[in-house]
Chains A and B, each alone.
Chain A
Amino acid sequence: MDDNLRREVILDNYSNPENKGRVEDKDYIYVNTNNSSCIDNIDLFLDVKDNIIKDIKFDGEACAISTASTSIMTKELIGKTLEEAKKFIENFYNMIEERPYDEDLLNEALAFSEIYKQANRTTCATLPYKGILNAIKKYEEEH
């Protein structure tokens, strides 16, 4: 992805985020995720059935990077098995933390491939992943 495309993908997902909303359904796992600089604050709702992520919804107040990252994450993870999802997440962290990663797996999330250059924003990009890992853990503990 070139610079312009990355910017476009992030802004698109920020202005028109996918899977935004709150869920009351008890089948969903709820987690809140926020970063220590106390600004971004996102609620995540995860629905898993038969080891497959059926749905993710999110809500909250967050910056462009966090919001876009969450929107992209939900799109990418819905439909994946938990194992596939974990692999995706690991790959994403590898990219953000400047380790070797598999480009072909990450699709739109590649929009954050240069974010490591802005140290104070990497926590924004990884915020939803931190949250969804917690939600998956919660699910696995309960099942």
Chain B
Amino acid sequence: MDFKQDFPMLKKDLIYFDNGATTFKPYSVIKAMDDYYENYSANAHRGDYNISLKVDMAYEGVRDKVKDFINAKKREEIIFTSGATESLNMIARGFFEKYLEAGDEVLITNSEHASNILPWFRLADTNKIKINYINLDDSLHVTVKNVLNSITPNTKVIALAGITNVVGDVRPIKEITKLAHERNIFVVLDGAQTVPHSKTDVQDLDIDFMAFSGHKMCGPTGVGVLYGKEELLEKLDPINYGGGMNESFDDETKVYLKELPQRLEAGTPNIAGVIGLGAAIDYLNKVGMDNIYLKEIELKRYLIEKLSKIKHIDIINPEAESGVLAFNVDGIFSQDVAVFLDKYNICVRAGNHCAKILKKDIGVKNTVRVSLYFYNTKEEIDSLVELLSDKDKILKEMI
């Protein structure tokens, strides 16, 4: 399939390999948002007139789309947020702050994104919980065995990314959830790097909470989703209080809150963003999540095959079955490689990718990261490989 026609950014003279950070948006997403602003720009949940009703239908329609997209049981289990970060904070603060006691343990890893570490650090402060780290194996993967080894009688939560943005390792979430639930441990899935890249089935995975962002799946920035099992979301306290989430309140400061999902969506929501997210889901469904996954794996294998032939390139995570590849050019700092590639309009990421505590494990603090999406091509990879194969050229042109 040729995706060039669908994405304005793919028509530019640019090769974009930073899809882990954010993805390009198809015309259909941009149009859906413009359409809202141009043709029915009213508030939601205020349906006293025609266009406002239209907003409600569009907004709530996306909730159904998200529900089907991740196979949630009920539409009430889908809460719109500003992104994965806000969702994870709501989970930690709204639910676990109430639930966890001093000495309780949360299991994470060194390769989590800051957004799945710092909300727990905060609970370490407020609730005196302990944060433990699951050991990564030699190829930086999380194994069921290592999870079992890290669990203690005090473990109450396991919070993991399905795929990390750092080295792209895929975690066995379903197995982890099973063994966790046998021990009354909650599982929080940071789906920021999984939901965009393969079919997600929250019921099959049986996870308790999940967070993801629209902008990493062809949708707009500023919108994301908090998923939780209904019985758990019922117990999740709102962080934001205000309009749209209360049933009524009296002058004795007693507030009666609405039911889910409105209770957790105070204030005027990101209506255009949610509508854009709906269009992004339509687009991904049209391409097909299975096709997306297969295309990424095919591109990744191709990239590894080519890069592994270059002597001066050290690939950090060749085993990872995802579209993320981290590597270094021998003797050249990652940022210099990125600056060099940028001169040829190739966008890659350099650095430690917000997982600042991982450096202990991979031994190097910084890597160059290529993160692929289904609209990348083998020709683009060829251009990258050709530039990387000439170390003298990099050294000469990087400054």
Docked-complex contact B351 and A11, CB < 8 angstroms: no
CA of A67 to CA of B395, assembled, Å: 14
Do residues B399 and A39 form an inter-chain contact, with CB atoms below 8 A? no
Indicate if the CB atoms of B334 and A39 lie closer than 8 Å: yes
Q: A7-B399, A38-B356 are in contact. Are A64 and B336 (CB under 8 A)?
A: yes
A37 adjacent to B333 (CB under 8 Å): no
Contacting A64 at CB < 8 Å: which of B354, B356, B365, B399?
B399
Chain A CB within 8 A of B339 CB: yes
Contact B333 A64 (CB under 8 A): yes
B366→A65 contact, CB < 8 A = no
A10 CB within 8 Å of chain B: yes
- Report how far A65 CA is from B350 CA in the complex, Å: 15
Cβ of B335 within 8 Å of any chain A Cβ, yes or no, is: yes
Complexed CA–CA distance, A67 and B366 (Å): 15
For B399, the chain A residues whose CB sits under 8 A away are: 7, 10-11, 64-65
- Tell me if B's interface is mostly helix, strand, loop or mixed: mixed
Q: Given contacts A62-B333, A63-B336, is CB(A39)–CB(B395) below 8 Å?
A: no
In the complex, what residues of A have CB within 8 A of residue B365's CB? 41, 61
B352, CB-defined interface residue at 8 Å: yes
CA distance A41 to B395 in the complex (A): 21
The answer, yes or no, to whether A121 is at the interface (CB within 8 Å) is: yes
B398 at the interface (CB under 8 A from A): yes
**With A and B bound together, what is the CA distance between A121 and B352 in angstroms?**
18
Residues of B within 8 A of A65 (CB): 336, 399
Residues of B within 8 A of A62 (CB): 333
A40 located at the interface, meaning its Cβ lies under 8 Å from any Cβ of chain B in the complex: yes
Q: Count A-B contacts at CB 8 Å.
A: 38
CA distance A121 to B335 in the complex (A): 10
Q: Interface digits, A7-21 against B, CB 8 Å rule (1 contact, 0 not)?
A: 100110000000000
Of residues 249 through 280 on chain B, the ones whose CB sits less than 8 Å from some CB of chain A are: none
CB contact under 8 A between A64 and B351, given known A39-B335, A40-B335: no
Name the residue on B nearest A115 (C-beta).
B399
Complex: how many Å from CA A80 to CA B256? 70
Known: A38-B351, A38-B352, A61-B366. A11 touches B335 (CB 8 A): no
Residues 39-60 (chain A) with a chain B CB within 8 angstroms: 39-41
Residues of A within 8 A of B352 (CB): 38-39
Closest Cβ of chain A to B350, distance in Å, is 6
| Cβ–Cβ contact A121 & B351, under 8 A | no
User: CA A117 – CA B343 in complex, angstroms?
Assistant: 13
**Docked-complex contact B333 and A61, CB < 8 angstroms:** yes
A7, A61, A124: which has the most chain B beta carbons within 10 Å? A61
Residues of A within 8 A of B336 (CB): 63-65
Q: Report the bound CA distance from A124 to B352 in whole Å.
A: 17
Interfacial residues of chain B within 374-399, with CB under 8 A of chain A in the complex: 395-396, 398-399
Closest 5 CB pairs of A and B: A63-B335, A63-B333, A39-B351, A64-B336, A63-B336
- Residues of chain A at the chain B interface (Cβ within 8 Å): 7, 10-11, 37-41, 61-65, 67, 118, 120-121, 124
Residue contacts A-B, CB under 8 angstroms, 17 given: A7-B396, A7-B399, A38-B356, A39-B335, A39-B350, A39-B351, A39-B366, A40-B335, A61-B333, A62-B333, A63-B333, A63-B339, A64-B332, A64-B333, A64-B398, A64-B399, A65-B336
Known: A63-B336, A64-B336, A64-B399. 10 other contacts (CB 8 A): A7-B399, A10-B399, A38-B351, A39-B334, A61-B365, A63-B339, A65-B336, A118-B339, A120-B339, A121-B339
